[in-house]
C-alpha cells in the first residue's frame, strides 16, 4: 500500500500540545501536512494558559523537517484558530477537534460551572472551530473533520455526567455534518480513544497506562482524514492498536393496536420491544428510522 501523504494539506489539531493531540500533530507533520498546533496550555481541569506546549510540538515537527505553526487561543474562539491557518498557509483541509478537559463529579455535587465549562470547551469549542472552517471546506469542496467522543458518552460513566453529555453530543454533531458535508466532499467522523495522558493518569494503574500509547490512536485519525477515505458519519473506538466501529441497533420493535395504545399494553409488549434476538435493524438516517413507526399505521 502506498504511503498516505498529506502534502499541501493544512491540518488544524486542537489541544495539540499534549497527549493525543500532540501525537496527532506529529503524525500529520511526518506525513507532509502543514500543521496548526493549537493549545491554550491550561490545566487538565480548565483554567490557566501557557504557550509552551503548542510551541514545543511545533518545534518537534520542524526539527523532523516538517511545517507547523502554533496557535494559543481557546477553541471557544475557533475563528481565530482558523484565521491562523489562513494567514500562515492560505487554506484549511482538516480539523481534528481534540482539545479537552475534565470536571468529574457525581451529578449530585456538580455545579452549573462544571456543567457549562465542559460544554464550552468540548461542544462549543468543536462547533466554533469547525464552523469557522466549514465555509472554506465547502468552497474548496474538500474537508475532513474529526470529533473526539469518549466511551463515557457511549456507555455512561460514574462522575462524568457533564463529560458524557458533551462527548456523545459531539457524535450527534458528526452524524449531521456527515450528511450536510457529503455533497461537497466534507467527511466527518468521531473517535472514542483510550490513551495514557494527564486526563487518564489518575484513574488507571501504571502497568495499564504503559500500553495505552497515544501513537496507537493517531494512525486511525490520519486514515480517516486522508483524501482516500470516503467513509463518513462513523464512530470508532480505538486504543492499544485495536479499532472497532460502533453503530446504532434497533430491535424489531412491537406495534400496538392503534385503538389500544395504553401503558398496560406497553407493559405487555415490553419483552418484544427490548428483544434484539430477531429482526433487529440498523437505520442510518431519519427516513429509514421512520419505517418502524410507519409499519404500524394499519394496525387497528
Enumerate residues 6+ apart whose C-beta is below 8 A from 17. 37, 39, 41, 52, 53, 54, 56, 57
In order of 89, 115, 141, 210, the CA distances from 164 in angstroms are 35, 11, 32, 25
Answer yes or no: 216 catalytic.
no
Does residue 66 bind ligand NAI (CB under 6 A)? no
Does residue 162 bind ligand NAI (CB under 6 A)? no
Does residue 78 bind ligand NAI (CB under 6 A)? no
Q: What angle do CA 7, 15, 182 make, to 5 degrees?
A: 55
Candidates 10, 11, 12, 20; binder of ligand NAI (CB under 6 A) is 20
What cell numbers appear for 251 in the block?
430491535
Enumerate residues 6+ apart whose C-beta is below 8 A from 62. 68
Nearest to 67 by CA among 37, 31, 29: 29
What cell numbers appear for 60 in the block?
518537534
Does residue 84 bind ligand NAI (CB under 6 A)? no
Segment holding 51, helix H or strand E: none
Does residue 83 bind ligand NAI (CB under 6 A)? no
The site map against ligand NAI for 239-258 (x = CB under 6 A) is --------------------
Candidates 193, 220, 221, 232; binder of ligand NAI (CB under 6 A) is 193
Residue sitting closest to ligand NAI (CB): 19
Burial class (CB in 10 A: 0-12, 13-18, 19+), 129: buried
**Cβ 273 to ligand NAI, closest distance in Å?**
31
Candidates 57, 199, 220, 222; binder of ligand NAI (CB under 6 A) is 199
Candidates 34, 35, 37, 39; binder of ligand NAI (CB under 6 A) is 39
Does residue 148 bind ligand NAI (CB under 6 A)? yes
Does residue 17 bind ligand NAI (CB under 6 A)? yes
Does residue 157 bind ligand NAI (CB under 6 A)? no
Residue 94's DSSP bridge partners are: 11, 144
Task: Find out whether 274 and 251 touch, Cβ atoms under 8 Å.
Answer: yes
* Catalytic residue, candidates 72, 163, 216, 236: 163
Residues known to be catalytic: 163
Binding site for ligand NAI (CB under 6 A): 14-15, 17-21, 38-42, 44, 53, 74-76, 98-101, 121, 125, 148, 150, 193-195, 197-200
Amino acid at each position: 500500500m502506498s504511503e498516505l501523504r498529506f502534502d499541501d494539506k493544512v491540518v488544524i489539531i486542537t489541544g495539540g500540545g499534549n497527549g493525543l493531540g500532540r501525537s496527532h500533530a506529529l503524525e500529520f507533520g511526518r506525513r507532509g501536512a502543514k500543521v496548526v498546533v493549537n493549545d491554550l496550555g491550561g490545566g487538565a481541569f480548565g483554567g490557566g494558559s501557557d504557550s509552551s506546549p503548542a510551541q514545543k510540538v511545533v518545534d518537534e515537527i520542524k526539527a523532523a523537517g516538517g511545517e507547523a505553526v502554533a496557535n494559543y487561543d481557546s477553541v471557544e474562539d475557533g475563528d481565530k484558530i482558523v484565521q491562523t491557518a489562513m494567514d500562515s498557509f492560505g487554506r484549511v483541509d482538516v480539523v481534528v477537534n481534540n482539545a479537552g478537559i475534565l470536571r468529574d463529579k457525581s451529578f449530585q455535587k456538580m455545579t452549573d460551572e462544571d456543567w457549562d465549562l465542559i460544554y464550552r470547551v468540548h461542544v462549543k469549542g468543536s462547533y466554533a472551530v469547525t464552523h469557522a472552517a466549514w465555509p472554506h471546506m465547502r468552497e474548496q469542496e474538500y474537508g475532513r473533520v474529526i470529533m473526539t467522543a469518549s466511551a463515557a458518552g457511549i456507555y455512561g460513566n460514574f462522575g462524568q455526567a457533564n463529560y458524557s453529555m458533551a462527548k456523545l453530543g459531539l457524535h450527534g454533531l458528526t452524524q449531521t455534518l456527515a450528511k450536510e458535508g457529503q455533497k461537497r466532499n466534507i467527511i466527518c467522523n468521531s473517535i472514542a480513544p483510550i490513551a495514557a495522558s494527564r486526563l487518564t493518569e489518575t484513574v488507571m494503574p501504571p502497568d495499564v497506562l504503559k500500553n495505552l500509547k497515544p501513537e496507537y490512536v493517531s494512525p486511525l485519525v490520519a486514515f480517516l482524514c486522508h483524501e482516500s477515505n470516503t467513509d463518513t458519519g462513523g464512530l470508532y473506538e480505538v486504543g492499544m492498536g485495536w479499532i472497532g466501529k460502533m453503530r446504532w441497533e434497533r430491535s424489531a420493535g412491537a406495534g400496538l393496536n392503534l385503538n389500544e395504545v395504553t401503558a398496560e399494553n406497553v407493559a405487555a409488549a415490553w419483552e418484544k420491544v427490548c428483544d434484539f434476538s430477531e429482526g433487529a435493524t440498523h437505520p442510518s438516517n431519519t427516513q429509514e428510522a421512520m419505517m418502524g413507526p410507519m409499519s404500524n399505521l394499519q394496525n387497528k
